[in-house]
Every structure is written in C-alpha cells, then in structure tokens.
Amino acid sequence: VQLQASGGGLVQTGGSLRLSCAVSGRTFSSSSVAWFRQRPGKEREFVSGVLWVGGDPKYSESMKGRFTISKDNAQKMVYLQMNGLEPEDTAVYYCAHAPPKTSYYRDYASVSYYKSWGQGTQVTVSS
C-alpha cells in the first residue's frame, strides 16, 4: 500500500485546513488508516484513525472536537479536517495504513502498528 498526503500549508491561529491522503494498492475492509503528526523536537503522535470499513473514528483527546477524519472508500481517499488550529498544531502530518490485525482496538494509536506511511505534509499555524 502506498500513501500520498497533501493539503498542508500556512494558516493563522483559528483557521482551518483539510488534509488529503490518497491510498493506492490493495486494502481490506478491516485494515485501518490513521493520521499522525510530528511536531518539532517531538516524537510522532497519533491524531486520528479509523477502520477502512465501518468502525467509529478514534481521536487523540487533545484534538477531539477540532479535527475530523473521513474517507471516501470508492476514491480511496482519507481526509483530516482541522478546525480551530493553534500554533501548537504546527507539525508534519502523516497518513498511515495498517493491514487487518486483531489488535486494532488495543494498538491503533501506536506508531509501530502501521506498516505503510505517506511522505508527510507540513502544517504551520502562525500566531
């Protein structure tokens, strides 16, 4: 599976951006996709994730209510709508894919759970 993230850019505090991730290759209904981010000097952290088919979206507590993950299975696209952006949201955002695993509900927020990664897209929020 290959992933291509896009949609990053420079936005002012309080602004919005929508990130897109194009997924190519074979996906299964119980595989999963997610967004992670890596802020300067920090480790990569989970933002949001969802099963390819069905399932409730998962969010990091700090982003719940501001960020929304969605997907278009037919177009094999995954989106991250980000509202109310703050300077602390400045990071490189990555999309990721994991094949079907029985440990999804335990490990979906873990970097090591995901096998395929996109190249990242920079989001910069100015104060």
Q: Answer yes or no: is pLDDT of 29 > 90.
A: no
Helices (H), 38-122: 104-107
State pLDDT tens for residues 70-122: 999 999 999 999 999 999 999 999 999 999 988 999 999 999 999 999 999 99
The CA–CA distances, whole Å, from 9 to 59, 93, 110, 116 equal 22, 11, 26, 23
pLDDT on residue 117 = 98
**Model confidence band, residue 44 (pLDDT cutoffs 50, 70, 90):** very high
**Model confidence band, residue 20 (pLDDT cutoffs 50, 70, 90):** very high
pLDDT on residue 28 = 85
